[in-house]
Amino acid sequence: MATPLNALVHEAQTSGTLAGLPDRHLVNGVFVPSLNGARMETLDPGTGRAFASFAAGDAADVDAAVAAAQAALTGPWRALTPAQRGRLLYRVAGLIRANADRLAVAETLDSGKRLAEALGDVAGAAATFEYYAGACDKHQGESIPLGEDYLAYTVHEPVGVTAHIIPWNYPLSSAARGIAPALAAGCTVVAKPAEQTPLTALMLARLCVEAGLPPGVCNVVTGTGALAGAALVRHPGVHHISFTGSVATGMDVMRGAAPNVTRLVLELGGKSPVLVLADCDIDKAVENVLGGIFENAGQICSAGSRLVIDRRIHADFVERLAARAGKMTLGHGLRDADMGAVNSAAHLDKIAGYVDRARARGVAVRCGGRRAADPLTGQGWFYEPTILDALAPDDEAVQQEIFGPVLCVQVFDDIDEAVALANGTDFGLVAGIFTRDFASAHRLAARVDAGQVYINEYFAGGVAVPFGGNKRSGFGREKGLEALRSYSKLKSVAARI
């Protein structure tokens, strides 16, 4: 019987950790220590203290994991029918749900996010495996009419061993988003979670083994990006890399993959605009703008980090936002605060630096703008919900991804200016539009350069809707049936009869 959520929370609050957390790599179906014996610690952002340790892998551990994945690719995994793979993935979804509370508490300790957000991430991970379980036997090719003397058709084959470099802001849901479609397509997996948040990827891999996936199909190597991540990216036995992270690191991944001509999906940074037109439902728009920037303390690649708003409603709208943001409570993710911690001390410094420089330039700070701590303990890495108002198009805070709870406001006088502001950065991940005029919404959606556009609900969609960016936000698509294509190689067959 699973331990109740309140008991897990009590254990974590009183002991600072959870018993039985995984602390080794999962390779070929079993937990193993690093070959060099190295270990490192993971910190709870809500306290700033270490709460667990884990294996610190390097190239030798990556070699072992890739070898296991290669062997599994041509072993019993290959012999399974798509329907059989689907049943295994469906079992994984059920096990995620059965272990949801433990996964969520571990995610909160590791990432700093609120427990409610972590529970939502776990539910999303289960839904992702469920979605791709149903897609396994529907990933079909096409026949091509060449005339009665020919037969031509296409076949989707698994691309091979896939590498997944998982970010620290959404460790479990990002892992599921890449691993589930890779497995559905018939690939095998080597995942490298961020060194700040290694635990739930290991817990997920253990559930995959428990569900009956053959040894070597899903492997996880933990450690730093420099030693484990770079070795995985450069490995000649890897056939596809899925990377989520910063633009700078994404460039390094491209360079590392180039000598082996390894396929890539890159989901990089964002500076996503939320276009609010004067005819919108203001109450709903305010609620969505708040959620779009302050969920997970703004540490979301697709956060609505820029409010692009009609001048006619700008003052009232920002006043409402600032009043709501100013009342938000901060606290450890295991308590019922409105916003949790940011992930690390270094990241807190980065966020504070952007706001401090903006204030020095004379930018109006409508609320927040200060470092904080858990009011109960005085510990942890927190930053107040912050709004920077009426920014110029070329302002650093507009052009750079802050990746924190900082909303940057830009004001427009007409639709052409709104589009220019929305498209006025190097990023093109997502955009939001709020208006009662559906025709205007779709015309705007066509003009905004983004991989995904939300209309009248920020973060609308789900696992079925493809996700990815344009420009410096990356290329390729995760989620939806498009993800299956990412993890497949297309073979064409043409025969004369």
Tokens standing for 65? 């994991």
Strand order, beta sheet including 273-276: 364-367, 386-389, 406-412, 306-310, 273-276, 430-434, 452-455
Asked whether the beta carbons of 285 and 276 are under 8 A apart, the reply is yes
DSSP state of 327: T
242 phi, psi to nearest 5 deg: -110, 115
Q: Dihedral sign, CA of 401, 405, 406, 407?
A: positive
Q: What are 193's strand-pairing partners?
A: 166
Q: Confirm whether 408 is a catalytic residue.
A: no
Handedness of CA 51, 53, 56, 57 (dihedral sign): negative
Residues whose CB falls within 8 Å of the CB of residue 7, separated by 6 or more in sequence, listed in order: none
CA gap 411, 409 in Å, rounded: 7
Cβ burial 255-285 (10 Å sphere, 16+ → b, else e) = ebbeeeebbbbbbbbbbbbbbbbeebeeeeb
Q: What is the DSSP letter of 210?
A: H
Q: CB-hemisphere CA count at 13 Å for 100?
A: 17
Catalytic residue, chosen from 208, 218, 280, 301, is: 301
Q: Count CA atoms closer than 13 A to 158's CA, side-chain side.
A: 27
Q: How far is CA 126 from CA 122, 204, 267, 333, in A?
A: 6, 10, 21, 21
Q: Which of 161, 225, 228, 173 is nearest to 201 (CA)?
A: 173
Q: Is 210 a catalytic residue?
A: no
Of 267, 295, 384, 401, which is the active-site residue?
A: 267
Beta strands in 413-487 (DSSP E): 427-428, 430-434, 452-455, 470-471, 474-475
Q: Residue 279 corresponds to which amino acid? A: D
Strand pairing partners for 449?
A: none
By the 10 Å C-beta count (0-12 exposed, 13-18 middle, 19+ buried), 15 is classed as exposed
Cβ 26 vs Cβ 205: under 8 Å: yes
CB 135 within 8 A of CB 464: no
The catalytic site residues sit at 267, 301
